[in-house]
Every structure is written in structure tokens, then in C-alpha cells.
Amino acid sequence: MQELITIKIFNYHADLYIAKSFLESEGIRCFVQDELINQIMPLYTPAVDGIKLQVKPEQAEQATQLLIKGGFAAPEDYDLTPGDRRTIKIVSWLRNLFKR
């Protein structure tokens, strides 16, 4: 299965589903991760780092732009520091290393 990209993390279901509906109305297929743990044990949400809205990698850029346009995110939510970019490269390298 293709790996998904987390484009936004939510703490509340209502916010998640409004943003998800908005993206789907624009033709972007969305997936949700860690939704059930939040429904069963809402206090665990910080432990699993919120409810994750995910899309396919080829739609990630368009989806983030739509979230900004729709008012669900701010441009600075997606700004990466050089340290963040370096961490992402290292994690990607490690994932590829262990896929073999």
C-alpha cells in the first residue's frame, strides 16, 4: 500500500470532518488516522499526537494549499526550518534502509 502524508493534525472531530469534507469536495481523497482512539478515550489524544488528516503524496501540496485557502490552516503551519528538513531526510533514509 502507498504511504500517506499527514497534512494536518486535529484535536477535535468536528474540525477534522469539516476540513475533510472541504478537501473531498475539491476532489482530494482523504484518510483519517488515530480517530478511534480519540472517540474511545479522548484524553489519549495528546498521547497519539491528535487525529491525523492524511492524503496521498501526489495530492499533499494541493491539499495543503486548499486548507490554507479554506481557512483551516495558516501558511506558517507548513514552514519548515533547515533542521526540520534535515530530520525528514534522515527519517526517509532510515525508512528506505529498513524496507530492504
| Mean pLDDT over the full length of the chain | 85
Question: Domain of 38?
Answer: 5-99
Q: For the chain, what is the domain count?
A: 1
pLDDT score of 97? 80
83 pLDDT exceeds 90? no
Sign of the dihedral through C-alpha 18, 61, 30, 37 = negative
22 pLDDT exceeds 60? yes
80 pLDDT exceeds 80? no
User: Mean per-residue pLDDT for 13-23?
Assistant: 93
Top pLDDT among 23 and 36 is at 23
